[in-house]
Structure formats: structure tokens, C-alpha cells
Amino acid sequence: MDITASLNWDNIRYLLELARSGSAVNAATSLKVSHQTVARHITELERALNIRLVDRSHTPWTLTEMGKSVLNNAEEIEKQVYKIATQTRVKTNEISGRIRITSAADGFDLLLMTAIAELQQNYPKLEFDLVADYTAQDISSGSFDIALRFTNTPPEHLIGRKVGVIKFGIYGLKHKITQYENISNPETKNSVPFVIMSTPHITREIAVRKIVSPQTPTCQVSSLTTLTSALRNGMGIGILPVAIGTQYPDLHKSADAHPIAPLDAWLLRNLDSRSSLKIKTVEKTLYHHAAAILKMN
């Protein structure tokens, strides 16, 4: 029996979304279908492969070991399917013109720039306007085509695709982290200098978890680049995305850190971009690059 004859790519796509979104409910929301539809497609895939892919004994559902193995292969298949589809489209629909992308603070460096460089190489007639902003630009006005946003509540009036989750940790040079971790008195613990990038999410986390006290010496910075430089030069400890902190061997993550709530990363575009091959092609490339970076961290 040829097992490939019974495989349906659409069923595999549902497995991918289930793994990426973290639950069947989130997968249903992302795919704009019902929870039952997600369950049906997963069941059909399990029957086709004659293996159990998902453990349904608790909520949220989790992948079995075989499910994880199939997921890895499915991701490779997805990349190849995307590559073939892109190459085919390029032959019949030339991707050209200007595209405007905006990203919240430092998102280009963190997640997007390598993908944009690849797009420029693959589609030489594409031109880019890249705007890094610290006050979220309104893309519903038509000023931008694609936006990268770090938020747990994306706007409902835009087409959204969750790229992944930004995890955070408290980082610093080894002796600074050691000093922070070895002080048992909470008041004196807060005497270790703290470098702060005042985004709404980080400001809220610092306040709620009381990471910084009124006695803590602080330094305020306006970008992740400056924050990283300050930490690497021994100015104190601070909260960094794990995807950035792991890039620098001289920075160490505190094992004693207060748990910092994660933040979702979303690629957003306007509803009127549904029919634009150019925007969909760019958005897919940005998504695959950014998702791969966040998956490793």
C-alpha cells in the first residue's frame, strides 16, 4: 500500500498550526475554523499514518514523541512547498514595486533584516521603505503594508499571523549576575544597578514583579542596541529578549530571575492586501525567517 496516496497536505498544515499556536483553540482561531475542524484534520492525519500524533488526555493538547518527529519533517516539507510555490509564481507574476514595512523597536535587527536582504536578492525589482518606530504606526491608514508588532492583543481589524513568542530574561556580565544572585536580602539585592528600556510591557513587568525598588540605581535607555551595549560594558543588569541575550557569550542569564511574562510577535497587514501577491510573498518570507529565529530561543 502506498501510504503517500492517503496523505493530505491540508491535514499536515493543521498539525503545524496546532504546534505553533500551542492549543487546538488557538489553532482554530488562527485558521478561522472551529475547534472540531482542527480535531477532525488531526484525526485524519493520524489515521493516514496509523500513529498517534497528539495526546488528548489533558488540555492543552500536546504532541507525542512521534508527533514531534512528524512535525519536524512537516516543517521541512512546508519549506519546500513554499519554495516551489514561490518559484512558480515568480515565473508567471513578476514581484516588483515598493513595499512599506514598519516594526516596533529593534524588530528589524532581531527578526526581519536577514529576510528582507534575501527578498532583495531574490526579487531585484522590489524596493523597500523600512520604518523602525517606538510608537506603533497605524497601518490601517494605508501608510504601511506590513507591520511587526510585539503584543498579546493584536488588532482584530487587521490580518494577523503569530510569528512566535518573545521570551525574556535578566542578563548581565557574569560578575554582575553572580552579585545579583548571591544577595539574599531583597532590599540589598535591588542595589545592583539596573539598565531599563522603558517599553510598556517591560515597565509593567518591573512594577508587578517588583524587580526594581526605589533604592535601585537605574539607567534608562531607548533601544535594545543601547541596552545590550550597556550590559556588555558592565553598567548593570537588565531585561533582554532571550533571542538577543544568547547572541553574546559575555552576557549571562540569571537563573534566579523573576519570571518575565513572554510577549507574542505578530506580522500584521491590511485587509485590502488579500489579493496582493507582492505583499503575501514578502509576508511569507518574513514569517518563515522570524519564526525560525524564535523557535531556536
Residue entry with cell 493538547: 61
C-alpha span between 284 and 7 (Å, rounded): 24
What residues make up the domain containing 196? Answer: 168-253
Report the predicted TM-score, pTM, of the whole model to 2 decimal places: 0.63
Residues 6+ apart with CB under 8 A from 204: none
145 and 176 co-located in one domain? no
pLDDT digits (tens, 9 = 90+) for 171-190: 999 999 998 888 766 555 56
For position 91, what pLDDT does the model report?
47
Residue 189: per-residue pLDDT:
55
pLDDT mean over 219-231 = 93
Confirm whether 183 is domain-assigned.
Answer: yes
User: With bands split at pLDDT 50, 70 and 90, how would you rate the model's confidence at 73?
Assistant: confident
Identify whether residues 177 and 114 lie together within a single domain. no
Mean pLDDT for the chain?
Answer: 84
Amino acid 181: pLDDT: 85
Residue 112 maps to a domain: yes
Indicate whether 82 belongs to any domain. Answer: no
Query: Within this chain, do residues 159 and 172 fall inside the same structural domain, yes or no?
Result: no
Domain shared by 176 and 194, yes or no = yes
* Residue 283: band (very low, low, confident or very high) from pLDDT cuts 50, 70, 90: very high
> Grid coordinates in use for 57?
488526555
Could you tell me if 116 and 44 lie in one domain?
no
Backbone dihedral region for residue 236 (phi beyond 0: left; psi -120 to 50: alpha; all else: beta): left
36: domain CATH number is 1.10.10.10
- The pLDDT, as a whole number, for residue 89 is 53
Q: In this structure, is residue 87 part of a structural domain?
A: no
How far is Cα of residue 223 from the mean position of the Cα atoms in its chain?
19
65 and 10 inside one domain: yes
- Examine the fold and report which residue of 16, 38, 70 is the final residue of a domain before the chain moves on: 70
Q: What is the mean pLDDT of residues 277-293?
A: 91
Domain count of the fold of the chain: 3
pLDDT at 200: 85
CA distance linking residue 135 with residue 149, whole number of Å: 11
185 with 248, same domain: the answer is yes
**59-71 pLDDT per residue, tens:** 888 889 888 888 8
- Kindly state the cell numbers that stand for 171: 542578563
The four Cα atoms 152, 157, 160, 164 give a dihedral, to 10 degrees, of: 0
Residue 78 counted as domain residue: no
For residues 214 and 238, state if they share a domain: yes
> Looking at the structure, do residues 128 and 237 belong to the same domain, yes or no?
no
Lookup result for grid cell 515568480? 90
pLDDT value of residue 92: 41
Residue pLDDT, tens place only, 108-153: 988 999 999 999 998 988 999 998 875 555 666 667 889 998 888 8
Q: What are residue 51's phi and psi, to 5 degrees?
A: -140, 160
16 found inside a domain: yes
User: What would the pLDDT profile of 4-42 be if each residue is shown by its tens digit?
Assistant: 555 677 888 888 888 888 888 888 888 888 888 988 998
Q: What is the CATH number of the domain that holds 283?
A: 3.40.190.10
Residue 135 shares a structural domain with residue 275: yes
Is the domain of 35 the same as that of 10?
A: yes
Residue from 108, 186, 179, 232 nearest 240 by CA: 232
The model's confidence at residue 1, banded by pLDDT at 50, 70 and 90, is very low
